[in-house]
Amino acid sequence: MQTPLQVGPYRLEKILGRGGMGIVYRAYDQRLDRQVAIKRILTEFDDPLLRERLRREARTTARLAHPAIIQVFDLLHEGGCDWIVMELVDGTSLAHVLESGPVGVDETLRYAKQIAEGLVAAHRLGIVHRDLKTENVMVLPDGRVKILDFGIAKWLDFAHEAAVGGDLTKTGGLIGTSRAMAPEQARGAGVGPRSDLFSFGVLLYETLTGISPFRAVSPVETLSRVLIFEPQPVDEVAAGVPRPLAELVDRLL
C-alpha cells in the first residue's frame, strides 16, 4: 500500500522508525501549527465493532497526561489504515543507549523513578502497557524519559481476536516481547499491572547489566525460561549494585 503524503490535517514529512507494530513518521499538524509523530498501524481493523473498541481504547490512552509518557493526541482511519498521532520528542531509545554498555546505578535510578511514576499514573486509570521494554523507553538529552506505545499492544490484541474469532487466552495468541513478558502473559492468561511490574524488573536488570535475565537462543526458549528459570541476582552480574536495589529487582521478577 502506497503511503499518502497527507493524513487528515497531518502532512507526513519523513520516516522516523519502523517496527513490528507500525511505521512512525514525523508530521506537521496544520491545524495547530506543531510537529507531531504519527504511527501507521500495520494491522487493519475491518470490523466496525472492533474499530469502536480501538477508538474507546485510544480515548482512554489519550487521558494519560504524564511527563514520563508520550501523549496521544488523535486517532484516524484513512487510506485503509489506522493512524495514531502522538507527541514528538527528540531522543534515543534506552535500548540504543545500552548498546554502548550498561549505565551506572545513579542513571538507572533516575530512569527508574520516572518510569515507575508513569506506570503508577497509567495503572490508576486501568491502563496496562503489556509490552514495556528498553525499546519502548525514549531517553531525552536532558535525562528525562518517555514511555512509548501505551495501548498499542492492547490494540493488537483486538486485531488478533478478530483474526481468530475468539479471545487470546483461548487461542494461545501472545502479544508482547518474549524476554520482557510476565509469566502469566507467556501462558496466554490475562495481564494486569503486575505484568508491567515484571517487565519493569526485566528493564532494570538489563539497564544495570546490559543483558537479559532470561536470555536464550530463541523466543520459545526465552518464554520457557521466563516460566521456570530463576535469574542470577543482578548484583552478582553487575558490580556496584546496592543490595536494596538488587532485592527490588529480584522482587519484581
Provide the annotated active-site residues.
Answer: 131
**Phi/psi of residue 88, each to 5°?**
-100, 125
Report residue 140 as a C-alpha cell. 531525552
- With contact defined as beta carbons under 8 Å apart, do 175 and 226 qualify? no
Q: Specify whether the CB–CB gap between 128 and 147 falls below 8 A.
A: no
Q: Work out the number of other CB atoms within 10 angstroms of the CB of residue 94.
A: 21
Do 76 and 54 touch, CB atoms closer than 8 A? no
Separation of alpha carbons 244 and 233, rounded Å? 12
SS3 category, 7: strand
Residue 230 to residues 159, 174, 211, 214, 250, Cα–Cα distance (Å): 33, 22, 15, 9, 9
User: Which three cell numbers mark 196?
Assistant: 508491567
- Count, residues in the chain: 253
Q: Which of 182, 110, 118, 116 is nearest to 140 (CA)?
A: 110
